[in-house]
Amino acid sequence: MERAHAPGEFDVQVDEEPLDVTWEGYHRTMTFMLTSGGLTEAFSITEAALDEALASDRQE
């Protein structure tokens, strides 16, 4: 993201599509975080960046 956001709860949306395999499997096609501060914004984020942000929040 281009700027920091105030602490709070954010919605994370994950879109996945099923794989054509004999076991149940999915391919993540998009992950984005919805913010709201008078505006509704959606930011595409990588799974690694989401994991990093969640780990950072747990440490605080």
Q: What local confidence, expressed as pLDDT, does residue 50 receive?
A: 82
* Nearest of 33, 31, 35 to residue 5 by alpha carbon: 35
pLDDT band at 60 (very low <50, low <70, confident <90, very high): low
Output the DSSP codes for 1-60. --S---SS--EEEEEEEE-SSSS--EEEEEEEEEEESSSEEEEE--HHHHHHHHHHHHH-
**Which tokens in the block code for residue 27?**
């391919």
| C-beta separation of 32 from 45 below 8 A | yes
pLDDT tens for each residue of 7-44? 777 778 888 899 999 999 988 888 777 776 656 677 77
